[in-house]
Amino acid sequence: MSQTKGQIVTLGVTGASGALLAQKALHLLVEDARVAKIHLVVTETGQRLFAEELSISSGDLKQLPARLLGKSSEKIEVLPNKDVGASIASGSYEVDAMLVIPCSMGCLSAVANGSCDDLVSRAADVMLKEGRKLVLCIRDTPFSRIHIENMMRAQSAGAVIMPAVPSFYHHPKTIDDLVTQYICRVLAQIGLPQDGMYRWTGSHSEAKKAEA
Ligand X SMILES: Cc1cc2nc3c(=O)[nH]c(=O)nc-3n(C[C@H](O)[C@H](O)[C@H](O)COP(=O)(O)O)c2cc1C
Residues that bind ligand X in the complex, under the rule CB under 6 A: 14-17, 43, 45-46, 48-49, 52, 104-107, 139-140
**Strand, coil or helix: what is 22?**
helix
Measured CA to CA, the distance from residue 206 to residue 191 in angstroms comes to 26
- Smallest distance, Å, CB 62 to ligand X? 20
| DSSP run (H or E) holding 39 | strand 35-42
Nearest-approach distance from CB 134 to ligand X, in angstroms: 15
Cβ 90 to ligand X, closest distance in Å?
Answer: 21
Q: Is residue 16 within 8 Å of 139, Cβ to Cβ? A: yes
Q: Which is nearer to ligand X, 54 or 69 (CB)?
A: 54
Find the shortest distance in angstroms from Cβ 110 to ligand X.
7
Q: Specify whether the CB–CB gap between 105 and 16 falls below 8 A.
A: yes
Between 50 and 95, name the residue whose CB sits nearer to ligand X.
50
Residue nearest to ligand X (CB): 15
Nearest CB to ligand X, comparing residues 16 and 38: 16
Do 95 and 11 touch, CB atoms closer than 8 A?
no
